[in-house]
Structure formats: C-alpha cells, structure tokens
Chain A
Amino acid sequence: MKVLVAVKRVIDYNVKIRVKPDHSDVDLTNVKMAMNPFCEIAVEEAVRLKEQGVASEIVAVTVGPKAAQEQLRTALALGADRAIHVETEARVESLAVAKLLKAVVDEEQPDLVILGKQAIDTDNNQTGQMLAALTGMPQGTFASKVDVKEGSVDVTREIDGGLQTVALTLPAVVTTDLRLNEPRYAKLPDIMKAKKKPLESKTPEALGVSVESGLELLGVETPAERKGGVKVGSVDELVEKLKTEAKVL
C-alpha cells in the first residue's frame, strides 16, 4: 500500500509571533521554522504503518518555497522513501493546496493520504477535507486511531462529544489529531541518509493548477493584550474578591 503524507513548513510552535509594523501580515523574517506538529504526527503514522508491513512506500509532499525542502528532508529522515516539492513563493490558500495535492494524488495513486488536521499558522483546518472532496475520497478527520483493513480503514475521530469511529473504503484521506501517536525524533545517521533520498521538484504550472484564491488578506492586527491582575494571598481573599469585586460568584 502506498501512503502519501502532506507536510507544511510553519513557524515553530514555541515562537511568539510579531505583526509587521505596516499590519500587512505576520513577520516571518529570521523566525525559527519547523514542520507543522500535526504533520509530524502524520509522518509518524505513515512510518508506523510501514514498520507494521501495512505500507510499502511513503511519499512526502509539500507546497511552498524553496526552504520548505528542509521539512521534506526531515520527513525523509523520519522514514519517508521519497519526496515531492511543489515549489511556489506565492501565498497558497488551502483550496489551492488541496488542488495541487489532488494533482499529485492523480499521478501517484496512493491508497491512503495522511495530513495534519490543522496548520498552526493559519489555523484553517480545511485542506484534508478539501482534498477528500476533490478526489472523491471519504475522510477520517481528527484521527486518534487508524486501523487499516483489507480495502478499508477504520478511523477513530476526536469529536466534540467524545470519540467516533468510521469505516472508510480505500483510497481515503485521514487527518491527524494529537493523540494519534507520539512522533519520534530523527537520528543523525538517518538525517545523513535522507540527503541521498530522491526529492523531485514540480511547479503549480506543470501540475496545471492555478494558485489564485478568492480570498484576500486585507490586514493583520495584534489582539488586545490581556493584562495580568493581582495575586491574592489566600483562598478567603480569592473568594471574597470573586464575590465583591469581580461579581462572578
């Protein structure tokens, strides 16, 4: 079984972001970048499927600037067999990413596509669902368990009320939630080996996809900062203040 994994280069989750002075966007100059944490979980799941003998080949794909090849190399170090870089310097919205991924799916014909549930920069939570729609595949979003069977996959999903399990016919799209697995770290020898694994570059034009979007970013602002309040000395004082000052009890 062939597994396609989509990974996105995003700001490292520990970094506190800054808005550009002209409010046109978030400032990403000299900011530490990394693989989106949910994509790390997606890669890990694919690698585990290969270790179990369920998957035979793992292809990692990203859409983004030249520098996004770093995240593909990380995926290769973690266990992907080869990588596809759809190179563009443009801001690519989720729908266009989904269209590009569909073009890759058409070429690669994977049995399972694994994406993160959410990119922690845009917080969109859309791309996997959109890819499923465009390819006509069923979707198992927010997965905390993936169980591949003959011709189908059972996906346990984290939903608002608890957990839901669905059975999807393959090929299918799965998006990862936090509890699916705990990603491993790449080992130094694997990082060295990854440099020799195949990485193919493509362009949106070559894939026949326009990255234009109906969405325009008009501006970005910093939200009102919440000011810290006071420290109270005791439970009595806390309850007193909540009753008489904050009036929430």
Chain B
Amino acid sequence: MSILILAEQHDGELAAGTAHVVAAARAIGGDIDVLVAGEGVDAVAQAAAGLDGVSRVRVADDAVYAHQLAEPLAELLVALADDYTHVLAASSTTGKNVLPRLAALRDVAQISDILEVVGADTFKRPIYAGNAIATVRSSDPLKVITVRTTAFDAVADGGSAAIEPVSAEVSNPSSRFVGEELAQSDRPELGSAKIVISGGRGMGSGDNFKLLDGIADKLGAAIGASRAAVDAGFVPNDMQVGQTGKIVAPELYIAVGISGAIQHLAGMKDSKVIVAINKDEDAPIFQVADYGLVGDLFEILPALEQKL
C-alpha cells in the first residue's frame, strides 16, 4: 500500500490537522508521502518532513496553487494518483473542496470524514449528524478519503523524510482567486484547542461575546459558537461548531446559552468533559453535559472569570 496525504496549510505554516491525517494513514499501513502544494511552501514542507511515519514529502511550488483552489489541486492529484492506493486529506474546507473532485476525475467514490480504520479498504464514518455510524467498504482501485482529525491522535515530530519537488504542468483557466477575509486571532485553532468555550443565541449580541474573552484568556481556550449565533451576525462563520461547521473534541467544552440541537451536538459531543450554562433547566444540552449550571449567563460568566 502507498498513501498520499494532501498537506493542510494555514498562513504559510503546516496546519495541525495534517499530523492527525498521518495517524489515520499509519492505521491503514504502507508508505506515506505528503504532498505540499502552494507558493513559497518551504516551511510547510520542512514541517511535514518532520512528522513521524512520513517517508517522503513531495513539493509542488507554483503560483497556480497559491490559494489552494480546487481545480488545479485536483488536477495535480490526478497526475500523481497513479503511484498510490490511497489519497487522504483532512476533512477541512480544503479537503472537502478538493478530494471529491479528484475522486470523480478518477471515477472512484470518495469516503468522507472517516472516524476509524477497520482495514485498508473498510472504514467507519458518521452519518445523520453523527447519530449513526456507518461501516463502508470500498472495492475501488484508489481510495479517496477525508479524515475527521479529532478522531485520530496526532503523530509526534521526529521524522526526517526526504523532500522532493514534483513537476506537473497544471494550468487553471476557469477559476481565479479574488480575495479573502481571514479571522485574525491569537487564540488557539478551534479544531485543536484543549479547551473550547462556545456561545449561542443566548449571548444576545456580538458585543456580549466579550464576556467569553476573559475566560478564554485565562484558560487558553478557543472560542466557538452555535449556528444561531453566527446567523444572527454575533460572530463570523469560521466559529460555527456543528454538523455543518467545525468538529471539535477538546478536553473541556463549555456551552453557554446554547440549547443543544442535534446539529450542534454533532460537532462537540466527543469532547471529554462538557459543561453547559443555560437558564432553561430543560434545555437538551444538559442531557449530554457532565456538569450543568442552570442560571443567567450574564451573572454566571463574570463570576466564573473571577474564580479562574
């Protein structure tokens, strides 16, 4: 078996998710290569070469890959896929954008968001917002897979894989990067933070999210949100946790003013410890919370910040 992993990048650095995808690849077994595609990606390639279990890092450094657009990345992967039995990526917005395109171009299925490797061709994945787990087997010659990073422990650093350039002629006449608005934050990434504190519609306004800041500062936590809080414009879309947002599984998840709809639970119910703060004692969030505190968040949050 030979596996190619599409590296995940963030601000010119290797994103944390890739080390988790390598762990999934090790569970499959075989040689593991990482593809780093982008413009000016030396640092990313170096970091990928250090991941335990990686045999080779293949680097495609070209302006055409600069913004991780799906069309050129899929074309590049198609050109490389002959050498592999599996192509993996994190189940991030990049992985989800690119891998189905590769799969279709190779006329194979794509397996989304795997949670467990049962065998080299058999995987478990969540369906219906994680309310059921499906076991699927692929008989396709190439397995194209996105990986739920929170389901696999990251591999350590300590490897020293070879770094090799790849040459492929890829052009992209049909899509063009126009611009981006990226959230600026000194806090840890939602997907990899040890503690996450999320606010819901109960926060009442974007301004009130400041009540979470002091607590997040003290705990080194990332801040998340429910869909209702994002839809209401309290906070940006990249903070949404849930079935159709980000999946998190921190040591501690604190849900504040969030009712606990199944779509929200889908994104956080694998957290180790869940705390819920809600004024409605019948809110469904309490059914999954290890510690529930019934009361008004506007009184509880300042008190909590003080106690930490």
On A, residues with C-beta under 8 Å from B are 11, 13, 16-17, 19, 26, 38, 93-95, 98, 117-118, 120-134, 136-142, 144, 154, 157-169, 172, 177-179, 213-223, 226, 228-232, 234-236, 238-239, 241-242, 246, 248-249
Contacts and interface: CB of A to CB of B under 8 A. Distances in A.
Given A242-B252, A246-B252, A220 B97 contact: no
A19 B132 contact: yes
User: Nearest 5 CB-CB pairs, A to B?
Assistant: A214-B140, A229-B290, A129-B100, A130-B104, A133-B104
9 contacts: A133-B104, A144-B237, A214-B138, A214-B139, A215-B139, A232-B292, A242-B275, A246-B290, A248-B195
A160 to B, nearest CB: 5
B138 A215 contact: yes
B291 A162 contact: no
B103 interface: yes
Nearest to A216: B137
Interface stretch (B22-30, B32-40, B171-179): B171-179
B70 A141 contact: yes
A194 B179 CA distance: 40
B97 A162 contact: no
B259 interface: no
A228 B289 contact: yes
A91 B263 CA distance: 24
B132 A223 contact: yes
Contact of A160 (B110, B177, B238, B252): B238
A125 B227 contact: no
Most buried by A among B126, B131, B132, B289: B132
Given A138-B175, A228-B289, A17 B131 contact: yes
B214 interface: no
A147 B179 CA distance: 14
A126 B293 CA distance: 40
Given A98-B104, A139-B97, A238 B291 contact: yes
A229 B93 contact: no
B128 A117 contact: no
**DSSP majority for the B interface?**
mixed
Contacts of A133: 74, 100-102, 104-105
A171 to B, nearest CB: 10
Contacts of A93: 109
B133 interface: yes
Contacts of A11: 128
B272 to A, nearest CB: 7
B45 interface: no
B246 A238 contact: no
Given A124-B112, A241-B291, A139 B178 contact: no
Contacts of B96: 125-126, 129, 141
Given A160-B94, A238-B275, A230 B70 contact: no
B286 interface: yes
Given A165-B179, A229-B291, A139 B101 contact: yes
B291 A248 contact: no
B292 A167 contact: no
Contact of A139 (B71, B126, B275): B71
Contacts of A232: 291-293
B275 A129 contact: no
A186 B272 CA distance: 43
Contacts of A249: 219, 252, 308
Contacts of B179: 164-165
Contacts of B272: 248
A47 to B, nearest CB: 20
A199 to B, nearest CB: 28
A130 to B, nearest CB: 4
A130 B100 contact: yes
Contacts of A118: 244
Contacts of B155: none
A159 B70 contact: no
Contacts of B281: 231
Given A123-B127, A123-B243, A230-B292, A95 B238 contact: no
A159 B238 contact: yes
A133 B73 CA distance: 12
A138 B127 contact: no
A218 B118 CA distance: 12
Contact of A164 (B67, B263, B292): B67
A26 B126 CA distance: 12
B168 interface: no
Interface stretch (B53-61, B156-164, B202-210, B299-307): B299-307
Nearest to A19: B132
B131 A165 contact: no
A162 B180 contact: yes
Given A121-B128, A246-B290, A246-B291, A94 B237 contact: no
